[in-house]
Amino acid sequence: MGKCKLTGDEGPFVKAHIIPKALTYPATKGLPFAQSGRDYAPKKRWDSWYDPELVTAKGEKILTDLDTWAIEELRKHKLIWKSWGGGASLDSADHHPLPDSSHGVRIIEGLDTGRLRLFLLSVLWRAAASTMHEFAEVRISASNMRRLRRMILEGNSEPAHFFPASLTQLSTIGAIHNMAPIAQRKIADVRQPHGKTIPIFRFYLDGLIAHFHQESSPTEVASLGPMLLGTEPRVAVTTVTFEASWERLNLSELMREAFERWPERMRRIPGFRDVWQE
């Protein structure tokens, strides 16, 4: 029993996934997740991240409705690995690789970008509202948390400059894994690679990566147009192969650290290399 952090009503808590379960799955069906991360020993998990003291049934209904719609849309537009039907890479008809490069771009039409932004904001709110260790890097001020909560309850993704999000998709399938969100800095505008950097929260969702800008102005958001989700009826998604991605480098480093620091623990986790998860 307790107070729902989303709706404010009192009642029994329900199991609430921070990132939808459909987007967090083991590499091999029936085997556990193998979870590891910075500065803590690997362990087995039998479910993706959920918080048992976050929301009541009323709050979970709001989140579930957003999740159900978003997962269907992500699959429809082939934005997540699980929607590729067993394929190893995005079809050339679905994105435009840059010549002699591991990068590319997708321009996606026919998507309710405002509602998809609202779904992502709800994931950001869940991570920040949770007290779980895995989400410790997602720290948001009390005033901004109140604002996020109100936007989710009202179904309103405006204003666009409040935690604007850009999307990157891994265009080839690599290691199936899950990764807890982290705080980083990134170049503010990819068209100016030596320009200023800004703080972001980075979320990984089955081959799709969302960067939430922690600092932004209406002018900056307007200048980036469809490169930020929810500013236009279309969205520009950058792509990069898994092999050339930061994701692969980070996974390799975390796995190396785990085997070096906790070799005995690693040997007790069956199939760790196949079901590895941060």
Alpha carbons 207 and 199: distance in angstroms, whole number = 22
Q: Are 201 and 181 in contact (CB under 8 A)?
A: yes
- Confidence class of residue 275 from pLDDT cuts 50, 70 and 90? very low
Report the SS3 class of residue 59.
helix
pLDDT in tens, 145-178: 999 999 999 999 999 999 999 999 999 998 888 8
The residues with which 40 forms a beta bridge, in sequence order, are 37
Span 57-68, pLDDT tens digits? 999 999 999 999
Q: Return the pLDDT at 35.
A: 62
The contacts of residue 14 (CB under 8 Å, 6+ apart) are: 55, 56, 57, 60
Q: What confidence tens digit (pLDDT) does each residue in 165-221 have? A: 999 999 999 888 888 899 988 876 666 667 778 899 999 999 999 999 998 888 988
Measure the CA–CA gap between 44 and 35, rounded to whole angstroms.
Answer: 6
Q: Domain locations in the chain?
A: 2-277
Angle ∠(241,49,26) on CA atoms, nearest 5: 50
Between CA 237 and CA 210, with CA 60 as vertex, the angle to 5 degrees is 15
pLDDT computed for residue 124 by the predictor? 98
Q: Which amino acid does the sequence have at 167?
A: L
Q: Does pLDDT of 38 surpass 70?
A: no
Alpha-carbon gap, residue 218 to 153, rounded angstroms: 23
E strands, 120-162, in order? none
Measured CA to CA, the distance from residue 35 to residue 32 in angstroms comes to 9
Distance, in Å, from the CA atom of 253 to the CA atom of 90, rounded to the nearest integer, reads 26
pLDDT at 249: 78
Count other Cβ atoms within 10 Å, centred on residue 261: 14
Per residue in 233-250, pLDDT (tens digit) is: 999 999 999 998 888 777
Q: How confident is the model at residue 139 (pLDDT cuts 50, 70, 90)?
A: very high
Cα separation of 271 and 15, whole Å? 28
